[in-house]
Amino acid sequence: MTFSPLLRVMRIIPALPRSLVGRVFTVFSLTLLLSMGTGLGLFYRYQFLQHIEETQDTALTLVEVATQTIEDSVVIGDYDTVKRTLGKMLFQSPFKRAEFIDVGGGTIRVDAPRVTRALAPRWLTARIAAKLYDVNRIANVGGKDYGVVRLQFDEEKLAAQVWSLVLETAGVAFVVFVASLVLMRTLVRRWLDNLGRLRSFEHDVAAGRVTAEAALLADAPTEIQEAIRAVNRSAASLRDQFGQRIDSLMNSLMQHKSAMDQAAIVCEADAAGAITGVNDLFVTSSGFTRPDVVGQRLADVGRPAGARLPWQPSDRVWNGEVVIAGRHGRRHWYRTIVPMFAAPGTVERYICIDIDITERKEFERTIVENAQRQTLIAELGRKALAANGLDDLFADAADAAARGLGAACAALFETGPDGMRVRAGAGRLAQSTGLQLAGPHGDAHVAAHGTDAALRPWFAPLAALHGIDTGIDTAIVCGERTFGLLGVYAARPRRFGADDANFLHGVANIVATAVERQEARNRLTYLAQYDPLTSLPNRRRLAHSLEDAIAAAARAQGRAAVMFIDLDRFKNVNDMLGHGIGDQLLVQAAKRLSACARADDVVARLGGDEFALVLPALDDDGIAAGIGARVIEALAQPFYLAGQQLFVSASVGIATYPENGRDAETLLKNADTAMYGAKNGGRNNYQFYVAEMHENATQRLQTETQLRQALERGEFLLHYQPKLDLATGTISGFEALLRWNHPQRGLVPPLEFIAILEDTGLILPVGEWVIGEVCRQLKAWQAQGMAVRPVAINLSARQLQQADLAGAVERIVARAGVDPALLEFELTESMLMANPEAAVEILARIKALGMRLSVDDFGTGYSSLAYLKRFPLDALKIDRTFVRDLPDDPDDAAITKAVIRLAHSLSLKVVAEGVENVDQLRELEQYGCDQIQGYYVSRPVPAQACEALLAGTAMA
Ligand SMILES: Nc1nc2c(ncn2[C@@H]2O[C@H](COP(=O)(O)OP(=O)(O)OP(=O)(O)O)[C@@H](O)[C@H]2O)c(=O)[nH]1
């Protein structure tokens, strides 16, 4: 074992008491005990050895004295004296036995009386016994030994004496030891009491007495004084530091509190959950006053949202949404209640922090609501696209409107002439579908309704019946017209917002679109069978009617007919008065046709100015002829349009079943052909179909085709008819007349192709060719050195309507390099009067180019003298019909004279057409006519013959 004693001591240290007093006391006691023990031990040892030595010496002295005393007695054998002397030696001696052993072996023995003594420990007795030895002294008298005196120590007595000494000194030492300890403990306690005062200093600090100082006793040891002063100094220093820190913390705390008061709604409740105070934001946000809420249970101010249980005082933090029914309405707060502990497990109060999330909740609610509404709108839109009828869609729309606004009921009303009709209802109004409300009608009454307006007066009966308090509605607007209303109604007072109105508007728009689509579909169906302008059946429907009529006639073995009606020269109406007037005329013509028809007849518009009449159950042709005549008569009556009187005749073709065809298509085609026959027959008449007509029509088609190529092929040519000046007897000019030199047929009469040129519009390019050709001819004549005369060119009505007639004329004449004064244009009276204002303008432009102008066929139309004056004319041509019977017909003579006078009064030259004999010439000469034209002067001749004509008249 290698433990050193020091280590052993060190191991004892942890076993020492924990308190300083205990430790000091223990160490002091041990030290004192050790030093006293050591001192006493050394003292005892010394005393013990001293005592043994002294006792031994005393015994030797005693035995010496006793031996001397008894030597005489021994010599004499006075043994009593010996005995007495031995006895005396034992009195109060440390011996227990004294003996005199004579040389003969006799022994005188005296034992000390046995006294009861305090017992000493055996070891002490043994130890003393080991140290002392018996004392022997030879009694020698005179050199003779008489015996030996022996003393035996009483070791017990000696041990008792020593032990008694030990006990006495140990007792004294113990008393001193105890007294020392008491004194030491008292003093150490007193001194350490100063440290104990630190605890009360600590309590003071803990109790918030931050200025407290640890007190000191006057006699406190220097070290403790130093230590406590150091503590006080540290405390003061810490106080200073913490004071500043606390100030800054307090400041920061106040700022935090202020910020918290600004940002959050805060209230405090006591441990029982009763509100003890609220901040300003609480008051402003909830609308409650402090007296309203202070003292209330916190659990009663704000109901937890959802199915959560109300807050109960607890030592746990509580979070959750609450709804406050405050003075400003329902508010949503996010609440956190934090318990404040006075001691662990003991709640002192609660801090409740609320964040107002009303806007966020409202926003969330709006988003959810809008999403739901979008879904409803999308769903309704999908249904609207798929819907075949409107009734189901109306019901879906009312349902969607009520659901979208979370209302008790909704209804969709249609405005009608008698008021409002419930087309569909949802909720309480579902049963009201079909109900007619005697209310207003028309757009003005169903204009958009405000969000919080009162119920409409006409809705009052339904409101009363179903307990409806308030509502919102919006108009269902289809294009320009209001179809009806979509209304949503609530049983309790409610304010509808702009979002509600927008949603309702969205639903109404879908309904409006569906209604428009349905109407468009209906219209398409209608348009597939009816003519939108006149509302008459169209070509397709006519075909069905005709097929039905044919089938019925076939069954009855009877007859039927179809009439093809085409207005004459309708194009002119359009061109001159505009399409709008043309339309009006078509509408009126349709009405007139319908008036002509019998009950079972079907009047249809085939397109353009073409109409048809199906005549079923036709007994004989006379009926068809009668209706044809009625139609001609009806359409020949003047039309009054745009403040003027218009005359439009019609050409009618009739085809009958079964003679002219057994199917609808053939019959209609043949009626068309018959109509062309009527056109060719001078228009304004009706004709029954005959087989030749088909050939005529084919012929006309052929001619039309050939005419289209005639210009390119150079088949047109001009003949010139001279005009004779009656005053000079010379040729004053020519009229250029168009001729068609057909490769097979030779020269085709103008009557056979001019009309076709006009009908087909070919007259425009051909007309320009005529002007160019006249210019070319004039130049050729001039080149030949001929004294050229002005040449008149006929303008057709189509040319007059040409966009830039004057411009075209100017370009052609300029290109040819002809003197414009050599050109004259003839226009018919009816052409000028069809649109006199336009004619005035065109004529003025041509006149400005330096060309002459004259009116052809004067007297056959209806000239207005006022216009005649405004036209920049040079001459009038009296129509041949007035000249033909001169001089015999007095009426013609009178008219001719009047025309000549009129012309002269307007400073116009007069040319009489169709003069065929000298009588007519003389008569006209008498009337003062300026020029004549006709066979009497010359037939129209080719250009090369003109020179001879000029030479001839010059000679005459
Ligand atoms: N105002 C109006 N005009 C139409 C309509 N449809 C076609 N037209 C015109 O009607 C005219 C029909 O002309 P046509 O029948 O070919 O010729 P027209 O002038 O009547 O002469 P004829 O039939 O030969 O006597 C054309 O000018 C078309 O442009 C319509 O709906 N309204």
Tokens 């002192």 correspond to what residue? 348
For the chain, what is the mean pLDDT? 86
Q: How confident is the model at residue 6 (pLDDT cuts 50, 70, 90)?
A: low
- State the DSSP code for 207: T
Say if ligand 1 is within 6 A of residue 883 CB. Answer: no
Query: Could you give the CA distance from residue 602 to residue 224 in angstroms, rounded to a whole number?
Result: 137
Which residue did the predictor score with more confidence, 284 or 953? 284
Q: How confident is the model at residue 377 (pLDDT cuts 50, 70, 90)?
A: very high
Q: Atom 26 in ligand 1: which residue has the minimum CA distance?
A: 571
* Predicted local distance difference test score (pLDDT) of residue 488: 93
Query: Could you give the CA distance from residue 460 to residue 457 in angstroms, rounded to a whole number?
Result: 5
Q: How confident is the model at residue 4 (pLDDT cuts 50, 70, 90)?
A: low
Say if ligand 1 is within 6 A of residue 569 CB. Answer: yes
Query: Could you give the CA distance from residue 52 to residue 124 in angstroms, rounded to a whole number?
Result: 12
* Predicted local distance difference test score (pLDDT) of residue 611: 97
Which residue did the predictor score with more confidence, 96 or 347? 347
* Predicted local distance difference test score (pLDDT) of residue 444: 42
Spacing, Cα 607 to ligand 1 middle (Å): 9
Average pLDDT over residues 568-589: 90
* Predicted local distance difference test score (pLDDT) of residue 761: 85
Spacing, Cα 81 to ligand 1 middle (Å): 207
* Consecutive H or E run containing 800: helix 797-800
Q: Atom 4 in ligand 1: which residue has the minimum CA distance?
A: 608
Say if ligand 1 is within 6 A of residue 99 CB. Answer: no
Average pLDDT over residues 31-58: 84
Over 80: is that where the pLDDT of 11 sits? no
Long-range Cβ contact pairs of 528-537 (< 8 A, separation 24 or more): 531/604, 531/605, 533/583, 533/586, 533/587, 533/590, 533/605, 534/586, 534/587, 534/590, 534/605, 535/590, 536/590, 536/594, 536/603, 536/604, 536/605, 536/611, 537/602, 537/603, 537/604, 537/605
Q: Is 794 exposed, middle or buried (0-12, 13-18, 19+ CB in 10 A)?
A: middle
Query: Could you give the CA distance from residue 102 to residue 75 in angstroms, rounded to a whole number?
Result: 11
Lowest mean pLDDT among 370-374, 627-631, 791-795, 861-865: 861-865
CA 523 to chain centre: 35
Atom of ligand 1 nearest to the CA of 683: 25
Is 159 in a helix, a strand, or coil?
helix
* Predicted local distance difference test score (pLDDT) of residue 956: 39
Q: How wide is the angle at C-alpha 495 spanned by C-alphas 489 and 501, nearest 5°?
A: 70
Is 334 in a helix, a strand, or coil?
strand
Q: What value of ipTM does the predicted structure carry? A: 0.97
* Predicted local distance difference test score (pLDDT) of residue 955: 39
Say if ligand 1 is within 6 A of residue 570 CB. Answer: yes
Say if ligand 1 is within 6 A of residue 568 CB. Answer: yes
* Predicted local distance difference test score (pLDDT) of residue 717: 92
Average pLDDT over residues 159-174: 84
Say if ligand 1 is within 6 A of residue 566 CB. Answer: yes
Say if ligand 1 is within 6 A of residue 759 CB. Answer: yes
Please, are residues 334 and 355 in contact by the beta-carbon 8 Å criterion? yes
Instruction: Tell me the pairing of strands 144-153 and 135-141.
Output: antiparallel
Q: Residue 108: phi, psi to the nearest 5?
A: -100, 120
Say if ligand 1 is within 6 A of residue 586 CB. Answer: yes
Over 90: is that where the pLDDT of 630 sits? yes
Say if ligand 1 is within 6 A of residue 700 CB. Answer: no
Q: Atom 32 in ligand 1: which residue has the minimum CA distance?
A: 583
Q: Which residue among 573, 588, 609, 676 is best mutated to probe the pocket of ligand 1, counting the most ligand atoms within 8 A of its Cβ? A: 609
Lowest mean pLDDT among 99-108, 464-473, 581-590, 721-730: 99-108
Is 659 in a helix, a strand, or coil?
coil
Residues in CB range of 279: below 8 A, 6 or more apart = 260, 261, 265, 266, 267
Q: Which residue among 538, 570, 588 is best mutated to probe the pocket of ligand 1, counting the most ligand atoms within 8 A of its Cβ? A: 570
Say if ligand 1 is within 6 A of residue 574 CB. Answer: yes
- Considering 48-62, 125-139, 585-599, the range whose residues carry the highest mean pLDDT is 585-599
Q: Which residue among 527, 531, 571 is best mutated to probe the pocket of ligand 1, counting the most ligand atoms within 8 A of its Cβ? A: 571
Spacing, Cα 796 to ligand 1 middle (Å): 18
Query: In the chain, what percentage of residues exceed pLDDT 70?
Result: 95
Per-residue pLDDT reduced to its tens digit, 406-455: 998 999 999 888 888 999 999 989 998 998 888 665 544 444 444 455 68
Q: Atom 16 in ligand 1: which residue has the minimum CA distance?
A: 571
Say if ligand 1 is within 6 A of residue 531 CB. Answer: no
Atom of ligand 1 nearest to the CA of 582: 1
Lowest mean pLDDT among 361-365, 663-667, 779-783: 361-365
Q: Quick one: how many helices (H) and strands (E) in the chain?
A: 29, 32
Q: How confident is the model at residue 117 (pLDDT cuts 50, 70, 90)?
A: low
Q: Atom 8 in ligand 1: which residue has the minimum CA distance?
A: 608
Spacing, Cα 608 to ligand 1 middle (Å): 5
**What does the buried/exposed string (b/e) look like for 147-156 if buried means 16 or more CB atoms within 10 Å of the residue's CB?**
bbbbbbbbbb
Please, are residues 911 and 854 in contact by the beta-carbon 8 Å criterion? yes
Q: How wide is the angle at C-alpha 924 spanned by C-alphas 918 and 926, nearest 5°?
A: 105
Q: Which residue among 536, 574, 646, 683 is best mutated to probe the pocket of ligand 1, counting the most ligand atoms within 8 A of its Cβ? A: 574
Over 80: is that where the pLDDT of 20 sits? no
Query: Could you give the CA distance from residue 725 to residue 882 in angstroms, rounded to a whole number?
Result: 19
Per-residue pLDDT reduced to its tens digit, 453-472: 568 888 888 888 898 988 99
Over 60: is that where the pLDDT of 792 sits? yes
Q: Atom 18 in ligand 1: which residue has the minimum CA distance?
A: 569
Per-residue pLDDT reduced to its tens digit, 677-717: 898 888 899 999 998 887 777 888 888 889 989 988 999 99
* Predicted local distance difference test score (pLDDT) of residue 631: 96
Q: Atom 14 in ligand 1: which residue has the minimum CA distance?
A: 571
Atom of ligand 1 nearest to the CA of 585: 1
Lowest mean pLDDT among 325-334, 474-483, 600-609: 325-334
Over 90: is that where the pLDDT of 7 sits? no
Spacing, Cα 633 to ligand 1 middle (Å): 20
For the whole prediction, is pTM greater than 0.80?
A: no
Spacing, Cα 609 to ligand 1 middle (Å): 5
Query: Could you give the CA distance from residue 605 to residue 50 in angstroms, rounded to a whole number?
Result: 175
Atom of ligand 1 nearest to the CA of 567: 20
- Considering 66-70, 137-141, 560-564, 833-837, the range whose residues carry the highest mean pLDDT is 560-564
Atom of ligand 1 nearest to the CA of 579: 1
Atom of ligand 1 nearest to the CA of 610: 15
* Predicted local distance difference test score (pLDDT) of residue 13: 67
